[in-house]
Structure 1
Amino acid sequence: MLLSVDIDRGWAWLVAVASFLMHVLMYGVAWSTGIYNAILLDYFHESAATIAWAGSLTPASMYAVGPLAGVLTNRFGCRLTILVGGAISSFGLMISFFAPNIYFLYFSFGIVTGIGLGISFVPAVTCVAHYFEKYRNFATGLAVSGVGVGTFLFPPLITILSHKYTWRGSMLILGALTLNVCLCGTLVRPLPSPRQDFRREKPAAFDLTVFKKAGYLLVCLNNILICFGLSIVYLHLTAFAEASGMSDQDGAMLISVIGIANLVGRFVIGALGSHPRLNVFLLYSLSFMISGTAAAFFPVLHMSFPAMIVLSVMFGFFTASFGALLPALLIEILGLDRLASAYGYLLLFMAVGQMLGGPIAGFIYDKTGSYNSSFYVGGAVIVSSGIMIFFLSFRKRKPFELPTRNIDAADCDEKEPLPA
């Protein structure tokens, strides 16, 4: 039985590392779909909008399943939910090996893989929040920094595997790698609730009270806009770079640079967000004003590879706020008890942005023969998302007291543990 001494120490840090590795694998696949987008354009010879749906559906499905993942996490706990999600995502990648056309990839690579990733994603985030109090923002930043590592490692990995084993073989291998999500999930063992929480009711399966908070509704709209812009950059930057005369390796490198900058940003911004005097809403807002501006400048400086590298660094570093600060924002608005439900519903709004951004950018390219307008639109939308959260930075902050976890083993044995 896990005791209170594991909060902020001991096994808690092992859980944070496991969550980090899960983020490496999940986002390594989800944010590298742009590499496959460029490959599939050459293989299937379909329009950019048609091909874009395959890569766009992966992160969109990942987010769309969020409410279900929140319910499963509340009902069965983080460990079992992660195991189920890891198995489904691995299955989706493996059956993509047999895809006879792009429309089969909509189902296998887009929907099945995305659903599996989404089911694992919610418990991979919320388990860290339950294991930490004092170091919650830092631990969350550490865990979600796996997004940056995955985004850095997977583009060149996919490029190498595709050259050696074709894109079909690369998906088969990625399916085997994704099974490691299940291995990481086994490390997330149940966490007992604190003494004062034993009298609380279990979270409702569908807790709709989160939508009564105006701040939460604004964050939902913010996430639609952010994911719309992110979808454009991640899905089309590689093809945009190749259309500008760069090699496929250079295009993949831009995504990797975004990934490594995102990794650094999650540590730095996560640490800044832990400072008691820093307004996380203001930091979150300014981060997306800057990253959106960087995205809009890709077409302006596309003839200079060093300039594209600089813009990629800026974009990757400041979009790190999305993962590093979002849980902190939700906890401040709604409290820890409703984090799983809030995050689950929020993913549904993210799915809307992810589903629309990439295909709309592909449609614009088909009509204009250029990616310039797509990146202008994507950058402007991201900047707008930051502006709306800027107004939340003036909200009156309520003092938040963390629950006391001084409990003894006898109490743990007598009470039913919360899902962890």
Structure 2
Amino acid sequence: MTTLVFKQRVFYGWWVVAAAFAVTFVGFGSAYTFSAFIEPLQREFGASRGAVSLVFSLAGFLYFALGIVSGPLADRWGARRLCIAGMLLVGAGLALASVARNIVEVYAAYGLGVGLGVGLAYVPAVGAVQRWFVKRRGLASGLAVSGIGVGTLAMPPLAALLIDGMGWRDAYLTLGVLAAVLGVGASLLLENDPRERGRAADGEPLPAHAHAAPPSGDLSVRDAVRTRQFISLYAACLIASFGVFVPFVHLVPHAQDLGIAQGSAVLLLGVIGIGSTAGRFFLGSLADRMGRQRFLLCTVIALAFTLVIWAVATGFWMLALFAFLFGACYGGWVAVLPAVVMDLFGGRNVGGIIGVLYTSVAFGTLIGPSAAGYAFDASRSYTLPILAAVAANLIAGAILMVAARGTKRGSAQG
């Protein structure tokens, strides 16, 4: 009776969604504060914009690449343990960055601490959410990763205020303590599988025979990565990621180069966060209705068109329009990607499969923002890296389109 009343009030899957939201808020919110620290770090250590950008690229590479390890570990040990360890690492990395004596120590503290920490937590958190839902998987996934959008909205302005009030070192220390406390607290709510609470996905009653193994049709990681569907998805994510993460590092300094004040420039990251949050909240359910794979294709192509706006923008309001539209498309892309993996390959090894897929994003994150920084150092302009980002997303969209046609043709022949 108690279980029935609890289900009628709140299905525990939504608590898992809330926990994943908080983990992504803390992890990515901390990571995306980096743009607010670029100028203080340049002044402190006399480093170029390309060299400072490499700090973010290193962290980004690690937090996506590490999913290939953390995903399978979460499938085996549960998401909670991995997320607790990850959030402690994020807090330690930020705190250690506060005492760095040179840019190399910032690489080690922020790059390794935040990178490894988010890498341990991200894939386990979003992977756990997928198993709790079927009918509303797109919505649940979108709500979970909307923590990234809200973190992008809230954390960079907070970082800017802390930098203005206490300097960049104490700002990093404060953010580190905040990340550890909030992140660990949220991680305690995570559970891997609704069967642990005697329920099936979506809160449905668990049939008597379903207490055993997950469905036999679920693919292993080895079998999944050999499919044409996975290879196409991997290639598209790899190419798109070369450009997707450039604005998170370079939009603020680009706005300042145009004469926009630092406070307003940092606010643009918050606008990305607003758009991203809206995209994850509202577009996830749209993906459930129109088809999640088709929706993924639409978001990748839309990202290319939003980047064109950045290329021609000359003032704050044009950049704000870009930031909102880019954020919405980015939010939709991130929200639907884990759900597409679950749809294609099943839930038994979803963490491991997502982890392998996210290595594609890792390489794009490592190369894209740092390459854009060095391109700026050479040309004193962001035009070339922005146009390269446009081209990358169009190519990624073409790959997904060809893959979708091949899947339909194979189904028709079958």
Q: Same fold (TM over 0.5)?
A: yes
1:223 aligned partner: 237
Q: What's 1:332 paired with?
A: 343
What's the counterpart of residue 160 of structure 2? 159
Q: How far has the Cα of 1:9 moved from its partner?
A: 4.7
Name the residue aligned to 1:134.
135
Name the TM-score, length of structure 2 as normaliser.
0.89
Kept after mapping to 1: 8 A contact 2:71/2:127: no
**Are residues 1:283 and 2:295 paired?**
yes
The correspondence of residues 190-201 of structure 1 with structure 2, limited to 5 A, is 191=193, 192=195, 195-196=209-210, 198-199=212-213
Question: Does 1:214 pair with 2:228?
Answer: yes
Name the SS for the 1:188 alignment partner. Answer: coil
Following superposition, the deviation at residue 235 of structure 1 comes to: 0.8
- What SS does the aligned partner of 2:349 have? helix
Q: 2:310, 2:319 within 8 Å by CA — same for their partners in 1? A: yes
SS at match of 1:315: helix
The CA distance in 2 between the partners of 1:47 and 1:28, in whole Å, is: 24
CA distance in 2, matches of 1:384, 1:269: 23
- Using the TM superposition, give the Cα deviation of residue 397 of structure 1 relative to its aligned residue in structure 2, in angstroms: 10
Measured after TM superposition, the shift of residue 197 of structure 1 is 5.9
Show the counterpart of 2:262: 248
CA contact (8 A) 1:35 1:158 kept: yes
Question: Aligned partners of 1:27, 1:398: CA distance in 2, in Å?
Answer: 39
Residue 124 of structure 1 and its aligned partner are, at CA, apart by 1.0
Q: Structure 2: which 5+ residue stretches go unaligned?
A: 197-205
Q: Does 1:307 align with 2:318?
A: yes
Match of 1:318 in 2: 329
CA distance, structure 2, for counterparts of residue 189 and residue 331 of structure 1: 17
**Residues of 2 paired with 1:239 and 1:31: CA distance?**
14
Structure 1 residue 52: deviation in Å?
1.0
> Per-residue displacement from partner, 1:272-311 (whole Å, max 9, x unpaired)?
0122xx132222112221222221331312x222111111
Tell me how far 1:16 sits from its aligned partner: 1.1
Cα shift readout 1:142-162 (whole Å, capped 9, x = no counterpart): 111111101101111110011
How far apart in 2 are the matches of 1:387 and 1:50?
A: 33
- Report the equivalent of 2:248: 234
2:66–2:359 Cα contact (<8 Å) kept: yes
CA apart distance, 1:202: 11
Q: Read off the aligned partner of 2:186 and give its amino acid letter.
A: C
Q: Could you say what secondary structure the match of 2:408 adopts?
A: coil
Contact 1:296/1:377 (<8 A) preserved: no
> Contact 2:130–2:342 at 8 Å: present in 1 too?
no
Task: Output the aligned Cα RMSD.
Answer: 2.5
Following superposition, the deviation at residue 6 of structure 1 comes to 5.5
* 2:71 matched residue in structure 1: 70
Equivalents in 2 of 1:129, 1:317: separation in Å?
21
What is the distance in 2 between the residues matched to 1:33 and 1:397?
Answer: 45
Change in Cα spacing, 1:38 to 1:295, as seen in structure 2 (3 Å) is: farther
Distance (whole Å) between structure 2 residues aligned to residue 79 and residue 262 of structure 1: 26
Once the two structures are aligned, what percentage of the paired residues are identical?
25
Secondary structure, aligned partner of 1:37 = helix
Instruction: Write the deviation string for residues 346-371 of structure 1: whole angstroms up to 9, x where unpaired.
Output: 12221100000011111111111112
Of stretches 363-372 and 256-265 in structure 1, the one that deviates more from structure 2 is 363-372
Of Structure 1 and Structure 2, the greater helix share is in 2
TM-fit CA distance, 1:374: 1.4
Residue 114 in structure 1 maps to residue 121 in structure 2: no
Q: Which amino acid aligns with 1:11?
A: Y
Read off the aligned partner of 1:165 and give its amino acid letter.
M
Q: Which deviates more from structure 2 when the two are superposed, residues 379-388 or residues 265-274?
A: 379-388
Aligned 1:68-107 pairs, distance under 5 A:
68-107=69-108
2 CA distance for matches of 1:330 and 1:152? 27
| Preserved contact between residue 152 and residue 259 of structure 1 (Cα < 8 Å) | yes
Could you say if the C-alpha distance between residues 74 and 7 of structure 1 is closer, same or farther in structure 2, counting changes exceeding 3 Å?
A: farther
Cα distance in 1 for residues equivalent to 2:75 and 2:264: 43
In the alignment, which of 181, 184, 195 is matched to residue 182 of structure 1?
A: 184
Distance 1:229 1:320 in 2: 15
Equivalent position amino acid for 1:360 in 2: A
1:402 paired residue number: none
The residue type paired with residue 290 of structure 1 is: A
2:400 is equivalent to residue 386 of structure 1:
no
Counterpart amino acid of residue 388 in structure 1 = I
Partners of 1:50 and 1:252 in 2: CA distance: 20
Of the structure 1 ranges 287-296 and 156-165, higher mean CA displacement relative to structure 2 is found in: 287-296
- What CA distance in whole angstroms lies between the structure 1 residues aligned with 2:409 and 2:90? 39
Question: Corresponding residue for 1:414?
Answer: none
Q: CA deviation at 1:384?
A: 2.1
- Aligned equivalents of 2:264, 2:231: Cα separation in 1: 39
Unaligned runs of 5+ in 1: 400-420
Which residue does the alignment assign to 1:143? Answer: 144
Assess if the C-alpha contact under 8 Å between 1:7 and 1:131 holds in 2: no
Cα distance in 2 for residues equivalent to 1:100 and 1:107: 11
Distance 2:392 2:8 in 1: 39
Q: In structure 1, give the amino acid aligned to 2:374.
A: F
1:95 maps to a residue whose letter is: L
